Structure 1
């Protein structure tokens, strides 16, 4: 069978342009070479407002590939653009060049010296992965940027990244000791301390020439280089003036590697980077200062830094409100608030002495009292709550970008840095400037160093570009007035490149051009960055140019909620509640992806399981969203959602809905996949396997009567193999096992009950015909608690169904019909206050998700409020003192819990932990896992079996194998239980079965 890797490498081979460059790259490299239109489109954007289609994309497998790619591109006279996580916000990683993506394979730790506190890494290594590796040694790399889960060390080096704790640890340039790089002519150089460079070497000659340039323009350097920590614009030429050196090394030594830091890949291509490490603080405390006005927060920052914090981070009212609207962030941010503040500052103290940090926290409260704000500090001394709040802050950009509608916060004056004593006045004047243009700014980030990420809300489809230019010009005047830096963290790229000359003056700007000529005389390395840059508002490079519009199509879901316009000053919809064009709404929903790449994370959560096993941009939430955006705007042909590019991009999407919750902008790829599968099915028809999956609720009654025959088929290997081959099913999987019909013989609970003590148990197809014991257990538990239990079936009628099997197979109309039938039957119960309780997460939660976009109106909203998973209902009933349930201890002392992806997406896993906690003496361990990989029919499909098992092996199956024999395995999802059994041989049970065992 073709492996997943081979399939990925060979994709689009039939349509790839046969060019000399592409042919030679494919012939000589072992890594991936991507020249098809869809792949180039996915690499045409980063987290900026720009889109420039690259010549092609190379993903080198090793250092030899990297060197060969550079040689071949040089021979073809094609520019080269190095790229890591693709999270740059200024357009540094987009350009008409050969993009070289180091993030997939060039991610190794090459050398480590714990005593010297140094490490040498390849450029594609992700920061969080490095710090996880370093943690057992008590060390970390402290340039802790908000994108630490997805950004690479190479990208951080290229941008001179800074991070929340730069006031204590400095910027990237303060923590890089050396860079092994390849220059434009193919020379391999090792940049380090100038005094250690071998006399006569290429590196030494370059250092002498750089120092000569710096000495010549010394007066201009003194006059124009900003005197603030956060200055990352241009080249770091001020470090090499031998007459007045200001090196970043603690010993005062100039380091040629520091010229490459912040150079945005324009001077050399990093191969290995040597980093200075810091001891990991043993203790941290956090004080959250609540401010009644934004101005006070800015004004008080200068006083707070006198206490010696490691970080002082701003969260403004916009970010607070948007966080409260996000189900993942709401409970976290609520703990940090006192009333309704206009802004909060997150003040962290860290070190080796816990008492000292707690004392600093008390000093913070005392200081705020002295400044007139007593009782304004929320103390957070515990690590777990600190981490949760920092995760909200780190998601700040994406939270800001979660605004629906055409107006978005736009990055172009985002990183201006001013001295702290001017911060309040600067932000106040900038706010007035925004209001003059009928908008407002979103503020967050680094109050400790005077760098505030501010993004005015502009509509780049209409007059945004014109306003951007005018605001930038007036904002730059403010920066100059307060002697600040126009580029304070995220680099220059396209949106700030033209301001380099403004910031440093013509003489220094010409010196920068000399530096570029010295290292890259043919302008082959990321041209158009730092020197000779385009205008920030050149519309040719916009992601949404003037003629951009969605192609005409009719989506099946109602997307009108995304088609809103908001008053940027009030946040009100204008006009309110109109709904409007659902076609445009679909495009707007797709465009919620801002390319920040949070979906590339590996550390925790669900998103994005297919990327975790492939590390392929195509199989990433961001990559899929880019593909859909290009398709919906007609940039990838005229087939729309039914086209091959969409099918291939969504091929490994398991509809886990992890992105729905974990993507701070709420991109719901599972729902997009339903749109695409439906369009494909209507255009191309359905396969036999699709029909078999979709129609399962209809044929399940007959299959259950023939369960013995189906079991017998598995005992005849040749016959079973032939059937699976005909249906396109994986031979390694057993055919679905039907067994009985719970609803046919269950009957309703006898006896009367008040309306507050009755419930409707929604028994889905899987728990009715395959695992009836789960439904039987749930009914018994509810009856034991005194509830009258209704069931989702009428005599002589087919059981109700949520329609999810139809959705997953592209049969939308049948799914909607099933949903309507279910809604009609359930509404009388809902109207009299009866809760609808389900067992299978993907089925029940459809009532809280897809049902709302069918166009059913208020009835669907009423059902969504009344629909609960089994354990959610139990928790709610107990909180209302309506669950007189007596439980006893089990034989097993421990339970290991695996959450279904949809439970995680709807924050419905905690209730499972809660009800298990009611069982006396039971120790509960929740497995930190992504999708199990079965995902309904996905894991059964022949072409997806390998990916399915790889997903399971990421963390779930290893955790189960290591669990010990005394642990009970709990999983509410039918697919999850099947995958656990297939992958480990162990049996997991629904929480209803566990509670039934525990009934006293």
Structure 2
């Protein structure tokens, strides 16, 4: 039997050996791509043990993997990938008195800390990827985090590890006395002890004396350094040998972690510096104040944050003038007054250092939290650079003693300049580990430059007695530097430790010991000969088809989308695999992954699938079934457009994929019905009763029988509204959905606008032409040319209003935002931009009028005193939720409660389709439906999306209404 067949017969979990799955797991957040032999997702600990047994019998290598966010290539390799993140994510033990918790390796850090918060505890190794990284992966990499100066690294905060050895034997590694150890652990401990005691002098000589040192194996655990105040006692903890071993010694089954009291109070001081060098020089003095964190943000990062509308007000609040760098200095503890005194000590220190009035004080938690989010987004903001040149991780976490930090950063900057590039500095100034990524084009000369820069950087690290690997581990990019760092004797000793644990070399081979070269291009994502297939996109992707200058960050003019994939392929390649989309909170991204937890249904998984298809690595390219399967559960929520730090817009990419597949395979009857809705509408209006009999055949064409289809109306908005365009101050765009199915929403909006003193016009087509439409249904079914024709009709009707400066107001978010988004990708010239700039949601328009002091709207209190608001995905993606809340707040005595929800799950036709019904309901049940059911019976449920209102109606006994209806009810 094959390995795949045996696994399918043996375990309960998922077994994935298809080309697309192996392709998706061939990358992590590094520059590498190595296709695994297969992927398994064990359902429980029994499955995990069975996988190891099967692999050992088949002589297959094993590669444990969590979120796949490793930046050095730890989680890619020619092996059987064991992904524990889907199922093995339980908290299995908790001892509050001992302040310890036991977790499975797939538990996410933020998930754990949310679980611990009611107990007043937290796990303090707070890495920037806390929303997606797993505890197993953190232990494998010996993760550190922003506050390691106070709490230490992962190795200082692991009490024990339950692991499965390569032999299949289970063993607990902890701080037990030798006589209390299980036989298997005792045998390993004795041999490792003999080995390291024989090399004690070499360990003392070669191991860097810095906190941030995560390279190689922790052979120094037998000789605790005085620089480590984090160990509770001096007993040897063999779990610390596994921490940082990157899955090369054993497979983690459970981890017992040491917890810390959750600080009751924090203060933050933001120190502004006129020179980068001065900031680096000051760090060694600031740490003497014993802060919990000292984090750097340099000038480039400041400007990138300023360019982001979400980050701009946050970062500007922290600045004094035009600093070249800022340091975020945090103090935390039990007493607020003590933290405030610490903040004043910082102010005094900076005065003593010749920098008076350089500190922005932030004693309140709100501004602190917002600024920390900007800092945590540092890597992803930096990776949003378009073009072939990208910031590359390979020397970014070299650690040097603080007294040398300023000189090291200056000299390394000179090295970058010498090689025709530059880097951006940020992160852990407190411990001498600054993240810097030189901008390199890894398709061309990048590999050679990477080697040259690494060699010069390593010489400086050795000169300053630092660590080449200070935080993110070894993996494929730094394992070859283990021998450089520790010398031949200790390299040989590490090889012997590896052989002791893993005699056949089946556990994550090629990492830490016996490695490949960092610049082996056969391992790169962009291998020699990498090129994209010939494909002419339906949409305009030229904005991504750019070249960047790493010295100036200037971009050339966009290239043509032309006759190749051009910018479309580069748009897909913007995904850096950092996994920010693997979020499980109530944010917008990614609703399908939150339901299935499958890599295939993740924004990252979809982007990788497209990249593989567009580069000829998947048979059938864009029209393949593998691509269709990856895009199948994408609900086009645009959550990724807003939340993905590198700007991956999967909703737009889905239109491109649907277009390619339609041209290759045609349309189904159901897609014809959905896509051609604007063409059906005039006929349905005449005989709505006939078209409303659709429930007789809805199952036949693939609609879920559990659904109630929208009802056609003869009294559409346009059919019952007079035409008076004279001297209009606002024009309503009556979209297809609102006009034909819910005309009362449009009528309500018109009444409110008129009550506010506006002369309201309606966007009408030419005489004899069908009603105007944004073309969204055509886009959803890949009929881009039809969508473009509809868009041109709509532009023709709206441009006369735009020319007069008359705002365009829409009621349905998905339709209105089509004007602001997809219209700009249809190649419609500057007319599309003019309309986009002048188009507003109903609530955005009212909020704008209010802020300008022009809104005169007399409203009375309603019988209902509370409103529970669910935001349409596009409202969230385009930052319009504050406008909805502002509009509702116009109603006297009405409290507005925002429902923290992701996509409702209906998403246009998605929730009506039979094969998607269960997924649609599961999305709604994540947070929306429970919140609706808990809302008081006399409260309003407000949802501006027609799909959202239908989902709420189908899934509860409540009827949601549009914000326009709320305001219309409140008119005096």
TM-score using structure 2 length = 0.98
After TM superposition, the structure 1 = structure 2 runs for residues 78-477 of structure 1, keeping only pairs within 5 Å, are 78-195=60-177, 198=180, 201-241=183-223, 249-477=231-459
What residue number does 1:732 align with?
A: 706
CA distance in 1, matches of 2:527, 2:668: 39
C-alpha contact 1:560 1:580 (8 A) present in aligned 2: yes
CA deviations over 1:884-938 (Å, ceiling 9, x no partner): 2222222111111111001111101110111112222211111111100000000
CA distance in 1, matches of 2:118, 2:229: 32
After TM superposition, the structure 1 = structure 2 runs for residues 885-924 of structure 1, keeping only pairs within 5 Å, are 885-924=857-896
CA distance in 2, matches of 1:312, 1:62: 40
What residue number does 2:50 align with?
A: 68
What residue number does 2:627 align with?
A: 646
Cα distance, 1:307 vs structure 2: 1.9
CA distance in 2, matches of 1:356, 1:881: 44
Structure 2 residue aligned with 1:696, among 664, 674, 677?
677
What residue number does 2:804 align with?
A: 832
CA distance in 1, matches of 2:363, 2:752: 40
RMSD value, Cα = 1.7
What residue number does 1:20 align with?
A: 2
What residue number does 1:787 align with?
A: 758
What residue number does 2:735 align with?
A: 764
Structure 1 residues 382, 796: CA separation in 2 closer, same or farther (over 3 Å shift)? farther
Structure 1 residue aligned with 2:953, among 981, 984, 992?
981
Structure 1 residues 946, 367: CA separation in 2 closer, same or farther (over 3 Å shift)? same
Secondary structure of 1:379 counterpart:
strand
CA deviations over 1:130-188 (Å, ceiling 9, x no partner): 11111110111110111111111110010000011100000000000001111111111
CA deviations over 1:186-217 (Å, ceiling 9, x no partner): 11111111426526711112111111111111
What residue number does 1:991 align with?
A: 963
C-alpha contact 1:420 1:450 (8 A) present in aligned 2: yes
Secondary structure of 1:726 counterpart:
coil
Cα distance, 1:320 vs structure 2: 2.2
Structure 1 residue aligned with 2:897, among 917, 921, 925?
925
Matched, 1:46 2:35: no
* Equivalent residue pairs, number: 969
Structure 2 runs not aligned, ≥5 long? none
After TM superposition, the structure 1 = structure 2 runs for residues 493-892 of structure 1, keeping only pairs within 5 Å, are 493-574=475-556, 576=557, 583-637=565-619, 639-709=620-690, 713=693, 720=695, 722-739=696-713, 740-748=715-723, 752=727, 758-794=729-765, 795-892=767-864
Moved more, 829-838 or 354-363: 354-363
Secondary structure of 1:552 counterpart:
coil
C-alpha contact 1:238 1:245 (8 A) present in aligned 2: no
What residue number does 1:717 align with?
A: none
Cα distance, 1:749 vs structure 2: 5.1
CA deviations over 1:24-44 (Å, ceiling 9, x no partner): 100111101111110000000
CA distance in 2, matches of 1:242, 1:944: 56
Structure 1 residues 530, 285: CA separation in 2 closer, same or farther (over 3 Å shift)? same
C-alpha contact 1:197 1:203 (8 A) present in aligned 2: no
CA deviations over 1:737-773 (Å, ceiling 9, x no partner): 12221012212458746xxxx1111111111111111
CA distance in 2, matches of 1:848, 1:374: 47
Structure 1 residues 161, 84: CA separation in 2 closer, same or farther (over 3 Å shift)? same
CA distance in 2, matches of 1:703, 1:200: 76
Structure 1 residues 334, 839: CA separation in 2 closer, same or farther (over 3 Å shift)? farther
Cα distance, 1:379 vs structure 2: 2.6
Structure 2 residue aligned with 1:934, among 874, 890, 906?
906
Cα distance, 1:786 vs structure 2: 1.4
CA distance in 1, matches of 2:306, 2:2: 54
CA distance in 2, matches of 1:420, 1:752: 69
Cα distance, 1:461 vs structure 2: 0.7
CA deviations over 1:670-701 (Å, ceiling 9, x no partner): 01100000111111010111011111122123
CA distance in 1, matches of 2:224, 2:660: 66
CA distance in 1, matches of 2:533, 2:501: 45
CA deviations over 1:24-71 (Å, ceiling 9, x no partner): 100111101111110000000000000000010010011111111100
C-alpha contact 2:211 2:227 (8 A) present in aligned 1: no
Secondary structure of 1:135 counterpart:
helix
Cα distance, 1:820 vs structure 2: 1.2
Secondary structure of 2:777 counterpart:
helix
Cα distance, 1:292 vs structure 2: 2.2
Cα distance, 1:588 vs structure 2: 0.6
C-alpha contact 1:328 1:662 (8 A) present in aligned 2: no
CA distance in 2, matches of 1:485, 1:134: 33
Structure 1 residues 623, 580: CA separation in 2 closer, same or farther (over 3 Å shift)? closer
Moved more, 742-751 or 422-431: 742-751
Cα distance, 1:830 vs structure 2: 1.1
Cα distance, 1:241 vs structure 2: 4.5
CA distance in 1, matches of 2:408, 2:225: 34
C-alpha contact 1:416 1:484 (8 A) present in aligned 2: yes
Cα distance, 1:800 vs structure 2: 1.4
Cα distance, 1:964 vs structure 2: 1.1
C-alpha contact 1:301 1:447 (8 A) present in aligned 2: yes
CA deviations over 1:550-599 (Å, ceiling 9, x no partner): 1110011111110111111111113x455565722111100000001110
CA deviations over 1:333-384 (Å, ceiling 9, x no partner): 2332333322222221111111211222232233323333333333333323
Cα distance, 1:709 vs structure 2: 4.5
Structure 1 residues 750, 528: CA separation in 2 closer, same or farther (over 3 Å shift)? closer
Structure 1 residues 243, 805: CA separation in 2 closer, same or farther (over 3 Å shift)? closer
Secondary structure of 2:268 counterpart:
strand
C-alpha contact 1:294 1:342 (8 A) present in aligned 2: yes
Secondary structure of 1:258 counterpart:
helix
Secondary structure of 2:792 counterpart:
helix
CA distance in 1, matches of 2:864, 2:691: 34
Structure 1 residues 852, 160: CA separation in 2 closer, same or farther (over 3 Å shift)? same
What residue number does 1:13 align with?
A: none
CA deviations over 1:588-626 (Å, ceiling 9, x no partner): 100000001110111231100000000000010000011
Secondary structure of 2:823 counterpart:
helix
C-alpha contact 1:847 1:863 (8 A) present in aligned 2: yes
Cα distance, 1:304 vs structure 2: 1.8
CA distance in 1, matches of 2:843, 2:282: 47
Cα distance, 1:706 vs structure 2: 3.1
What residue number does 1:9 align with?
A: none
Structure 1 residues 179, 200: CA separation in 2 closer, same or farther (over 3 Å shift)? closer
